[in-house]
Amino acid sequence: MATLSKRSTIYLDPTLHHALRLKALETSCSMSKIINEALREALAEDANDLSAFEERADEPLVSYEQMVKKLRQDGRI
């Protein structure tokens, strides 16, 4: 069964639009397919980031000053 698509109007920077059109021609993919894939990748990355935040929620907080001191003590800066 094919998934239904929703129509949407988006406004692109002219340079990005031109690059998208060229990529669509070069890859023989529609602009919609390229945009959908890019959005899926971006949303998947966000989901991974949120999971990482949840996994580390119980870790102690470290201030910027403490981190700089630790890096200095370890000889990293």
Q: Tell me the per-residue pLDDT of 21-67, one tens digit each, with 9 for 90 and over.
A: 999 999 999 999 999 999 999 999 999 999 998 999 899 999 999 99
35 closest CA partner among 60, 7, 69, 63: 7
Q: Is residue 6 part of a domain?
A: no
Token readout for 77 is 């800066």
Distance between start and end Cα atoms, the chain: 57
In a domain, residue 7? The reply is: no
Residue 2 in tokens: 């094919």
4 in any annotated domain: no
Q: Which domain range does residue 25 map to?
A: 14-73
Q: How many domains does the chain have?
A: 1
pTM of the model: 0.66
| Domain membership flag for residue 24 | yes
